[in-house]
Structure 1
């Protein structure tokens, strides 16, 4: 497992409240929905359906626990072949959504799927060759790909500390009752009960969104004895109305948490860190261009935070936010991330959404929302030129500033499809230029550069509006509501001199009152609200 450094300090020197594992995996499941082209309620709804079906089937309490986490984790291997899928299909998300509707036991459906999806964006001649090769070698490719998906999901379950039953079941995500699944090493009751339940619950959720409950029932009936355990399929078809009763997409997060079987799993400390390392690995599997990016950003951000002498709980927040900051990338096609040329308007708009996706993945959980808020701010800039919100300096706290600087530096030191990696000197120069142009925080940049091994030379400050250091001191005390006499006492100068400085501040900043001068100070990030 990858690890993030802690700058030689112990990050958890303060106690923290445990977090429900269901909330962590639920957040991850929202990202897997994005990465597989499913509605954002899909995995959560699958968990609810699976538990209801498992209870009808008389599953044991441990089998229900395993069923629940299998339902939330079943697509967690979806990023493992994103690069290869984009090469074959021209996209790595839409084809997954299309395949979810295919009966993999029907050769005709598989061939039609390949003919409709392989080589999109290529010439007709190139597509014909690619489709032919896919039909000839598709079975072997599918075995390898789906086995890889399962192995990755199992490893995530292991990192998260889930039971051996959960881990074992995840080896069979793409198997079938008739043995014609992938990788094709199990059939019938050789497939663990939690996974046999998942097969039905997953597809019911998929077809519920795609075509409605009646089509979902027909699919269960048609695939009984082939894709599905016939006894479970009969139970699901007979009781589908009850299984789907009162499902509410507006509160599906709450419903998914409500059905978690007891004993509920709670995690804290090292186990939470392991969960966020799993999230980082899931994200960085998306494309070879991102390998170890999230853990690299976490290393830098955490070390920078220690250098700034921040409290241990803030350092922990920053580290976890850094590990999770790019989770939203999963919802954007690799055709965009791996493009060698300039992005078009629509492509850029998709890119600009990925911090939003990151933040929203954690937003439903009160315990995780603060992490998501920092993680989703990694592309914000002090001058308001960043995204997703265009937040300006005064609204960006120190954690967000550190994360932005760490992400910039780490990304510049890594190659991308459209440019080579920058060397350390060039990356430092670029960060300093961003500071000079008012986009990155100088203190955060210095801390990140120091964490990366750069020798930091103190640079003379260029103050906004050409203020002198003394004028800035006067402005900062004035902004706290002090009178000229109080400013004079605080700074050890005469009230008359203070008056001259105040007039200079007004003239340089273009204001005519103390209130306006105070607002100007906030606008230019000279006064912090925290």
Structure 2
């Protein structure tokens, strides 16, 4: 018979349990391995973008290797080559920011839609439209497919501009957060511009497009198309898009050099090839740099769904404080905190149509959902130095009775750290809104967790520790908001970041939709964005959704 739950409190601030806390009681995350480099974490994120874009794992690495090889053949200097390198890896890091929109327009499966569009992403209308009709929505019931294709064609350039603008803005914000150079950040805004000025989002043309962006566009397209139809199809694409989407000089350079570069790729050692090829290798990340990179991972994962946009940092914070109160040593506490930030990376590979479903999931959909922790493991698997973090992050859905996923671990095979992370994740999920239910009050969530303890799923001491720190965070009341935002603008920003329409915001705040629109315009002007996905990322980066 299980013991009754008691809330495990401590009279000291949680950080004072941990060696290395500063005077303010803040634990600084220390690198768990001194060899973790920015290039490795960005390359890991690129695996996530491959999955989110419906591409085979390693597609961005191949793009990077190919683009960098051609850039060197063209005589680009070291700094320009470094821009090529990171743009190739970060080009689609904004994909999750509009996954909900893409899924809504793609019949619930944003990855299938993106995979179908990949060969013609840089094509002109005469190439794009027939391809959409033939390939988008394949596998859907006939009536649903007709609606998907018709909706995509009707949305046309307006929707494409909105998506490309969001992708570029979000990618630039991530690159800025990671401390990458100004030229690289600028170039990420030109990823979908065409040489002839008919690209998106701004119709920039010719030499106005940074050379790094011009090279990466061709590299990605060529890799995708040659995988579909081989060299012959790739060469035909280069000829067809030369002088249109592609800079003629860049297209000619790929025609001369791409095939030998592609032939030299060894899939089993591709990761090592790309990491070793970094034109400007950085020093190992320090404590702050590692924490920022892991926070970017959290934001990349959490932005995918409106109801998870404050999830991972909250889980990290809960788990860290609970672990400290249970007396775990400093390294274990740091590992748990880091794992909480990256635990949801694998959700990138689960269709939004499943994640946002208000109906009970089918067996097939459950199988897909259970793959999420496996995908987290895959995304981080090659990043040397994060092995302990990865093992823990990919175990947060394990349950003591073996009913969890993806390994089906039981009892003592689940570490104490993993038990704490599981309890923290469950509490945060229960006390947050979901498409199929409203959030539970903390007391109701505690009763639900207690029932899971009695059923032998969650650990008694882990749940006690999480409940003991829940609601007792070290939040400070702000006197000012970032970028000069007003209290009302913060209210509006929070609501639109959580997926609310202008009308829903108006009803919630007792103002008119027109007033909401004016507030949104002011918010955009103050924070320097033009899309809701970018505004949402701003709110996440500044921890405005907690």
Aligned to 2:212: 194
**1:119–1:131 CA contact under 8 A, matched in 2:** no
| Pairing partner for 2:460 from 442, 452, 461 | 442
Aligned partner of 1:80 in structure 2 is 97
The corresponding residue for 1:12 is: 28
Q: Which residue of 2 aligns with 1:526?
A: none
Tell me the equivalent position of 2:116.
Answer: 98
Residue equivalent to 2:165: 147
- Take 1:305 and 1:268, find their aligned partners in 2: how far apart are those partners? 23
State whether residues 88 and 118 of structure 1, in contact with CA within 8 Å, keep that contact through their aligned partners in structure 2.
Answer: no
Out of 205, 214, 231, the position equivalent to 1:213 is 231
Q: From the superposition, tell whether residues 131 and 97 of structure 1 become closer, same or farther in structure 2 (CA, over 3 Å).
A: closer
1:93 CA drift (Å): 0.6
Alignment of 1:357-396 (within 5 A): 357-396=375-414
How far apart, in 1, do the equivalents of 2:117 and 2:273 lie?
A: 27
**Offset at residue 18 of structure 1 (A):** 4.9
- Per the normalisation by structure 2, the TM-score is 0.78
> Which residue matches 1:117?
136
Distance 1:13-1:89 versus aligned 2 partners, 3 A rule: closer
In the alignment, the residues of structure 1 paired with residue 48 and residue 290 of structure 2 have an alpha-carbon distance, to the nearest angstrom, of 18
User: 1:263, CA displacement in angstroms?
Assistant: 3.7
Secondary structure of the residue aligned to 2:263 is: coil
Q: CA deviation at 1:438?
A: 1.4
SS at match of 2:95: coil
Q: Aligned match of 2:58 in 36, 41, 46?
A: 41
Deviations 1:63-101 (A, max 9, x none): 011110111100100011111111111121111111111
* Greater mean deviation of Cα atoms: 344-353 or 255-264: 255-264
Aligned to 2:439: 421
1:55 lines up with 2:87 in the alignment: no
Single out whichever of 222-231 and 128-137 deviates more from structure 2. Answer: 128-137
Shift of 1:15: 6.6
Aligned to 2:42, which of 11, 25, 35? Answer: 25
Task: Decide whether the 8 Å contact of 1:360 with 1:372 is kept in 2.
Answer: no
Q: CA deviation at 1:265?
A: 5.0
Q: What CA distance in whole angstroms lies between the structure 1 residues aligned with 2:125 and 2:198?
A: 11
Aligned alpha-carbon RMSD (Å): 2.1
Paired with 1:366 and 1:256, the residues of 2 have a C-alpha distance of 14
Shift in alpha-carbon separation, 1:435–1:193, aligned structure 2, 3 A: same
More deviation, 161-170/215-224: 215-224
Alignment of 1:305-454 (within 5 A): 305-453=323-471
Contact 2:195 2:243 in 1 (8 A): yes
Asked if the contact 1:6/1:299 (under 8 Å) is kept, the reply is no
Stretch deviating more after TM superposition (205-214 or 383-392): 205-214
Secondary structure of the 1:422 match is coil
SS in 2 for 1:266: coil
Q: Would the alpha carbon gap of residues 109 and 318 (structure 1) be closer, same or farther in structure 2, given more than 3 Å must change?
A: same
More deviation, 110-119/212-221: 110-119
Q: 2:522 corresponds to which residue?
A: none
2:184 corresponding residue in structure 1: 166
Alpha-carbon distance in structure 1 between the residues aligned to 2:211 and 2:50: 23
Deviation string, structure 1 residues 248-299 (Cα, Å, up to 9, x no partner): 1122111111211134353221111111111111111111122211122112
Query: Bigger shift: 234-243 or 153-162?
Result: 234-243
**Secondary structure of 2:96's aligned partner:** coil
| C-alpha contact (below 8 Å) 1:13/1:312 kept by paired residues | no
Task: State the match for 1:65 in structure 2.
Answer: 82
Within the alignment, does 1:291 sit opposite 2:309 as a pair? yes
Structure-2 separation of matches of 1:199 and 1:6 = 47
User: Aligned pairs, how many?
Assistant: 449
Q: Provide the C-alpha distance between the structure 1 equivalents of 2:141 and 2:307, rounded to a whole number of angstroms.
A: 23
Distance 2:251 2:316 in 1: 46
* SS of residue matched to 2:194: coil
Residue 409 of structure 1: how far off its partner (Å): 0.6
Distance 1:149 1:112 in 2: 25
**Structure 1 counterpart of 2:513:** none
By how many angstroms is 1:113 displaced? 4.5
SS of structure 2 residue aligned to 1:448: helix
Q: How many Å separate the matches in 1 of 2:356 and 2:121? A: 31
Give, in whole Å, the separation in 1 of the partners of 2:50 and 2:147.
31
Matches within 5 A, 1:513-524: none
2:512 matched to which residue of 1?
A: none
Distance 1:386 1:137, change over 3 A: closer
How far 1:215 sits from its partner (Å)?
Answer: 2.1
Contact 1:11/1:313 (<8 A) preserved: no
Alpha-carbon distance between aligned partners in 2 of 1:283 and 1:209, rounded to the nearest angstrom: 28
Find the structure with the greater CA-based Rg. 1
Shift of 1:431: 0.8
Deviation at 1:127, TM superposition (A): 6.5
Task: Give the Cα separation in 1 of the matches to 2:322 and 2:171.
Answer: 32
| 1:303 aligned partner | 321
